[in-house]
C-alpha cells in the first residue's frame, strides 16, 4: 500500500493494510497536524524529523489509533470532549469498553507493551461543526457517534476529501461494542457521511483510500448490521442463554484466538443487539434465556 498526497492532505498507510492493531494515519502538510498516529512507527518518526509535527488529533479514543502517541508526548493532543476520558486512565479505558474482570489481566500488558498507553489529557477539544483554517487547507469537524460517542470525521472541502476514520466500509462491517456505542447512531452517522459531497474518501483501515464514489459499499456496510440481527433472531427461535448466543459466533463466524479478544468482541456486540431487540419488543428473556417474540 502506497502513501498518497492529496494537496496538503497526506494518506499515511498503516502496516498490514491498516488492519488492527494498526490504522492508517493522515498528515496535514504545513500545519503539521498528524491524525491517528498508529500507522507505521518508522514513517511517523521520519515525518516528525523531516516534515514537522506540531499537533496530534485523534478521531476517537481506541487503542489502534493511539498506538504511537507516545512518540509525541510533548505535543498538544486534540480530540472531541466525549472521547477524552478513556485516555486519562487505563482502568477507565477498559470500563469504556466494558471489559469484564476475567479479561482485564490479558488486556493490561497489551495496552502497556503493544499500544504504549500513557495517561493523556487533551490540550483542547475539537467541536462538532468547527471549521479551522490550518493555512494550507480548511477542515470541518463532524461528530459521527455510534462507533464511540465522540468519533469524528473531517471534511477538507478545498481538496474534496472526507476522512471517515473507523467507518471504513469494510466487509467486516461496523464496530459498536463499547459501553457508549450505539447501533442506531452508527447507522445514522454512516448515512450522514454518505450524503457529504466529496471526491476522495479516506478511512482508517483496509482499503483506506477511495478515489471513486464507494457506491454500493455504503449499503453493504450497513447491511452487515441487519444480517447480524437476522442471524440472532433465527438463533432465538429456541430459547438460548447468553453464552450459547456468544458461542454461535455471529460476529466472527467461528471461534478464534486469542479468546480474550474475540470472545469479548462477540459478547459486546451481542449485548448491543439484544438490548436493541428487547427495547423493540422483538426479543424477551425468561429464566436467563433469550427468545424471539416474532
Q: What would the pLDDT profile of 115-128 be if each residue is shown by its tens digit?
A: 999 999 999 999 99
Closest CA to 104 of 118, 114, 90: 90
C-alpha cell at 283: 426479543
- Domain span at residue 110? 4-214
230 and 109 housed in the same domain: no
Among residues 164, 190, 214, the one where a domain terminates is: 214
Q: What is the model's pLDDT at position 214?
A: 98
On the question of a cis peptide bond just before residue 17, with omega within 30 degrees of 0, the verdict is no
In a domain, 165, yes or no: yes
Q: Which residues of the chain have pLDDT under 70?
A: none
178 and 202 housed in the same domain: yes
In a domain, 219, yes or no: no
Please say whether the beta carbons of 93 and 111 come within 8 A. Answer: yes
188 and 96 housed in the same domain: yes
260 and 196 housed in the same domain: no
188 and 257 housed in the same domain: no
281 and 138 housed in the same domain: no
43 and 128 housed in the same domain: yes
Q: What is the model's pLDDT at position 259?
A: 87
Q: How many independent structural domains does the chain possess?
A: 2
Q: What is the model's pLDDT at position 102?
A: 82
Whole-number Å distance between alpha carbons of 8 and 31: 9
- Give the domain CATH number at 88: 3.60.15.10
Amino acid at each position: 500500500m502506497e502513501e498518497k498526497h492529496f494537496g496538503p492532505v497526506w494518506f499515511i498507510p498503516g502496516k498490514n493494510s491498516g488492519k488492527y492493531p494498526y490504522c492508517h494515519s493522515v498528515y496535514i502538510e504545513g500545519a503539521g497536524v498528524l491524525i491517528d498516529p498508529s500507522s507505521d512507527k518508522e514513517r511517523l518518526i521520519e515525518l516528525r524529523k523531516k516534515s514537522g509535527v506540531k499537533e496530534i488529533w485523534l478521531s476517537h479514543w481506541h487503542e489502534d489509533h493511539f498506538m504511537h502517541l507516545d512518540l509525541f508526548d510533548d505535543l498538544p493532543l486534540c480530540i472531541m470532549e466525549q472521547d477524552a476520558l478513556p485516555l486519562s486512565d487505563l482502568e477507565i479505558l477498559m470500563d469504556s469498553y466494558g471489559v469484564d474482570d476475567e479479561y482485564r489481566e490479558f488486556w493490561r500488558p497489551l495496552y502497556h507493551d503493544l499500544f504504549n498507553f500513557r495517561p493523556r489529557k487533551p490540550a483542547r477539544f475539537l467541536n462538532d461543526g468547527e471549521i479551522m483554517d490550518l493555512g494550507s487547507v480548511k477542515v470541518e469537524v463532524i461528530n459521527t457517534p455510534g462507533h464511540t460517542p465522540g468519533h469524528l470525521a473531517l471534511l477538507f472541502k478545498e481538496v474534496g476529501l472526507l476522512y471517515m476514520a473507523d467507518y471504513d466500509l469494510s466487509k467486516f462491517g461496523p464496530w459498536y461494542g463499547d459501553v457508549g456505542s450505539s447501533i442506531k447512531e452508527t447507522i445514522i452517522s454512516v448515512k450522514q457521511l454518505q450524503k457529504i459531497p466529496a471526491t476522495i474518501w479516506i478511512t482508517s483501515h483496509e482499503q483506506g483510500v477511495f478515489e471513486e464514489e464507494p457506491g454500493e459499499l455504503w449499503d453493504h456496510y450497513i447491511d452487515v448490521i441487519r444480517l447480524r440481527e437476522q442471524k440472532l433472531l433465527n438463533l432465538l427461535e429456541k430459547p438460548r442463554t447468553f453464552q450459547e448466543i456468544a458461542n454461535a459466533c455471529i460476529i466472527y463466524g467461528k471461534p478464534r484466538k486469542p479468546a480474550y479478544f474475540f470472545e469479548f468482541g462477540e459478547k459486546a456486540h451481542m449485548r448491543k443487539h439484544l438490548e436493541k431487540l428487547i427495547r423493540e419488543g422483538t426479543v424477551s428473556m425468561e429464566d436467563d434465556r433469550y427468545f424471539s417474540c416474532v
